Each structure stands twice: as structure tokens, then as C-alpha cells.
């Protein structure tokens, strides 16, 4: 599925999908699920996980400045704390929204 519309409403991202479904995901939950190597780490061929230092979150860490579409497969939010390296495949925000609450 692909999003046909994405809007930030308060502290949530609202997504309208091409099949008519809608998803709502809290921005804090989405940010904490950032898939970039700096946030989640990166594994080498030997299975060792390398991760940057933990960055403390600020209020601006949970507000989105812009959202950019990347190719036909992902969105790339730029957060107000200038973090912008996370590419969320189109199904990622929906999976985050549907996952158990863990903020």
C-alpha cells in the first residue's frame, strides 16, 4: 500500500492509504522507531552491531518539520531537532501504529 495523503495533526501523523484505510501514529512512537543506522545501529558481516551514542530526546525530537517522499517506497521526515536520516518504508508507519504501545 502507498499513502495518498500524510498530515501532521497535533502529536500524530495521519496517513490515508490508497485502499481507503487510515492510520494514526503518535510522533513520539514513530521517532523512537527510527530505522536509521544512528538510531537502530548497523550490523557488520560478522553479526556485530555498531550503534552511535544514545542521544537524549528533547521536545523538538518529536515534532516533524517536513516530510519528503523517497522514490516510490518511503518517506523521510525531518524532525525539528534536525534529525533526518531515517527512511521509513511505506509500510513502516502503519506497522508502528499497529504495534503495542511502548512510548
Q: Domain spans of the chain?
A: 27-98
Beta strands per DSSP E along the chain: 3-9, 12-17, 22-26, 42-43, 49-50, 64-70, 74-79, 88-89
**Alpha-helix residue ranges (DSSP H) falling in 34-83:** 37-40
Q: Which pairs with CB-CB distance under 8 Å and at least 24 residues apart come from 37-45?
A: 37/85, 38/85, 39/86
Q: Residue 67, by phi and psi: left (phi above 0), alpha (psi -120 to 50) or beta?
A: beta
As its CATH architecture, domain 27-98 has 2-Layer Sandwich (3.30)
Whole-structure pTM value = 0.87
Mean pLDDT of 21-42: 93
49-93 pLDDT, tens digit per residue, is 888 778 889 999 999 999 999 999 999 999 999 999 999 999 898
Amino acid at each position: 500500500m502507498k499513502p495518498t495523503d500524510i498530515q501532521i495533526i497535533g502529536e500524530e501523523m495521519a496517513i490515508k492509504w490508497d485502499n481507503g484505510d487510515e492510520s494514526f501514529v503518535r510522533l513520539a512512537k514513530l521517532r523512537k522507531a527510527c530505522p536509521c543506522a544512528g538510531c537502530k545501529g548497523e550490523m557488520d558481516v560478522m553479526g556485530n552491531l555498531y550503534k552511535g551514542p544514545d542521544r537524549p530526546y528533547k521536545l523538538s525530537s518529536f515534532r516533524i518539520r517536513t516530510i519528503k517522499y523517497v522514490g516510490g517506497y518511503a518517506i523521510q521526515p525531518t524532525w525539528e531537532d534536525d534529525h533526518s536520516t531515517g527512511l521509513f518504508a511505506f509500510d513502516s508507519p502503519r506497522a508502528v501504529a499497529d504495534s503495542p504501545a511502548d512510548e
